[in-house]
Structure 1
Amino acid sequence: MTDLRALPFSDMLAHLREHGEPADPRGDIDTASLHRRFAHLSAVETRELTFAGARRSQPARLYRDPSATATGRAFVWVHGGAFIGGHLDMPESHWVALELAARGIPVLTLDYTKCLGDVHYPVPSDDVLAGWRFALDNAEEFFGAAPDAVALGGASAGGNLVAGVAARLRDGAGPAPAGLVLVYPVLHPNSSSPGEPLDPEAPMGRISANFAGPGGLDHPYAFPGLGSASALPPTLVVVCELDDLRPSGEAFATLVREAGGSLDLYLEPGAGHGHINEPADPTARTTIEEIARWLGAAQAEGAAIGHPGEIVR
């Protein structure tokens, strides 16, 4: 199996274009394994869907637990993957949605076009915007909830995309979400040092330039940390103690607060970037519990373990 991380960035993009994303080597992250590990997930029902994206149909997946006490809230969730990878079966998408649905929060997960050298912003953003509209158009059927009860969230690159879509919605692209959840988001071109020059040869520089495309590194919808944070919906930003990209989430939280917005900043101690993509990590489960709590769900019996993080106000 080719080690993509060992390839030059351009070669990695070419390999992904030609061969697709390699299979995850972990043998315990499929649905059956998750059910065995977390019995409270077994009643969650899923439904495969598609929606019309910017260039082609995109996959979506609906999660509902008919046995859970309804919270009246629903959630649209977008995975990360450095804008070049990720899918609906990765734990950051699938497991997170199962956990939230088990707490009475129906979830629609969205996929989007990856930036594999020939695609750049705004294509992935347009996909997520289309998926958001798809969710609201079908909110009663999908969620049993009103459109104004649906929140929007994403992790890492997905956090970037949903924050940019929230800004576009605020500026007239459609109805705003009831809330915005950003988990270890990448909101600046240089997310490890917001405001500092971007090294085009560093990994973050290559990822950001590949996503933004020619002339896009300064675009406030491509990198929401560069734009206005006024009039955004109530927002939860999750940052991780050991994440090199933590400064991006913290800088954005400051931006929202300075604009007078409603903002909760949650710090997960002992966690690193991508931790909710690992079901075996106890910090992942406490982060998910905090997201559920923030969205208005009661704790699922036996669901959370470990020492919780804290809201840093």
Structure 2
Amino acid sequence: MGATIEGPHGPVPVRRYGKGSAVTLVWLHGGGFFRGDLDLPESHAVATTLADRGIDVVTVDYRLAPLPGLPFVGRRGPRGRQRHPVAADDVRAVLTAFRSPDERPLLLGGASAGACLAAAVTRSLPKAIRPDGVFLAYGFFHAVTPRDPAVTRSVRGRRRVTHHPALLDRANRNLVGRRAPTDTAFPGGHDLSDFPRALMVDAEHDAMRPSGDRFATELRTAGVDVERHVLPGARHAFLNRPGTPESDTALDLVTAWALAQPTR
């Protein structure tokens, strides 16, 4: 069901899936911050599957960043492209709107750039209103992508070029602007105390995995309850390929994790 939530930069389109279950997941698609929408399998198919399993899902059409190299394209209009922190503000508005006054858990999650956005928003919130748990699928979390040559060499196909760490760094800088600080946009390397419990599901052959490796270590060092899985043989964006073994495994993991959330 489509709806809008009023945010500080205007209405934020959302879709609601489910029938009033005991737990709600606010879910953010990926796309390098500058592409993606609510029709992506990574958004719609994931939400449909989880709703069928008893988890209410709210997908968020957060504001996209400018196109890399074309910063003035698509900037006009009420949903024009904008840099950080507009997308984060959109997500915070949706979380606030769906925070239930009762004891039902509210979870936040995302895939790829959506995972980074979810973690950054979580870190920025006061402890009292942070989500009760965070699901991070093949995310990246550092403004400068950690390098692991062995992992980079294992990437195949077009992503060997498009996901080269140097290009990932350019996409990250595109989110915030050339000279803007990055500390609120990328949670890696910063204070993670009071971060809620987290489920991380990553792909073995993914240039972004070294950032996930480091972020998982940072969370554990901060004392966070982290459940982490690196799916053997998997490639980036497996949730965009419904019905594949990697997608099915990840959905099974998040279903079990979400339904086991304690009440507040």
TM over 0.5: same fold?
A: yes
Alignment match of 2:12 (pick from 40, 58, 68): 58
The amino acid that maps onto 2:168 is: M
Contact 1:192–1:244, Cα closer than 8 Å, also in 2? no
How far 1:191 moved relative to its partner?
2.7
Which residue is 2:173 aligned to?
Answer: 209
**Higher RCO, Cα 8 Å, sep 6+:** 2
The share of aligned pairs that are identical, in percent, is 37
Which residue is 1:176 aligned to?
Answer: 130
Instruction: Give matches, 1:88-127, under 5 Å.
Output: 88-116=38-66, 117=71, 119-127=82-90
Contact 1:77–1:108, Cα closer than 8 Å, also in 2? yes
How far 1:131 moved relative to its partner?
1.2
Output one character per residue of 1:16-38: Cα deviation in whole Å (capped at 9) or x when no partner.
xxxxxxxxxxxxxxxxxxxxxxx
Which residue is 1:159 aligned to?
Answer: 115
Which residue is 2:139 aligned to?
Answer: 185
Output one character per residue of 1:35-56: Cα deviation in whole Å (capped at 9) or x when no partner.
xxxxxxxxxxxx1111123422
> Judging changes above 3 Å, is the alpha-carbon distance between structure 1 residues 201 and 229 closer, same or farther for their aligned structure 2 residues?
closer
Output one character per residue of 1:273-313: Cα deviation in whole Å (capped at 9) or x when no partner.
1110111422111111111111126xxxxxxxxxxxxxxxx
> Judging changes above 3 Å, is the alpha-carbon distance between structure 1 residues 201 and 187 closer, same or farther for their aligned structure 2 residues?
closer
Alignment match of 1:242 (pick from 194, 202, 205): 205
How far 1:57 moved relative to its partner?
1.2
Output one character per residue of 1:164-187: Cα deviation in whole Å (capped at 9) or x when no partner.
11111136xx61111011111120
Do structure 1's residue 251 and structure 2's residue 214 form an aligned pair?
yes
Do structure 1's residue 274 and structure 2's residue 224 form an aligned pair?
no
* In structure 1, distance between residues paired with 2:180 and 2:17: 35
The amino acid that maps onto 1:251 is: R
Instruction: Select the structure of larger CA radius of gyration.
Output: 1
Contact 2:145–2:169, Cα closer than 8 Å, also in 1? no
Output one character per residue of 1:52-75: Cα deviation in whole Å (capped at 9) or x when no partner.
234221210000157xxx4x2221
Flag structure 2 segments of 5+ consecutive residues without an equivalent: 76-81, 149-163
Contact 1:148–1:177, Cα closer than 8 Å, also in 2? no
Do structure 1's residue 82 and structure 2's residue 32 form an aligned pair?
yes
Equivalenced residues, count: 232
How far 1:243 moved relative to its partner?
0.9
* In structure 2, distance between residues paired with 1:202 and 1:259: 28
* In structure 2, distance between residues paired with 1:147 and 1:166: 19
The amino acid that maps onto 2:130 is: A
With 91-100 and 265-274 compared, the bigger mean Cα shift is at 265-274
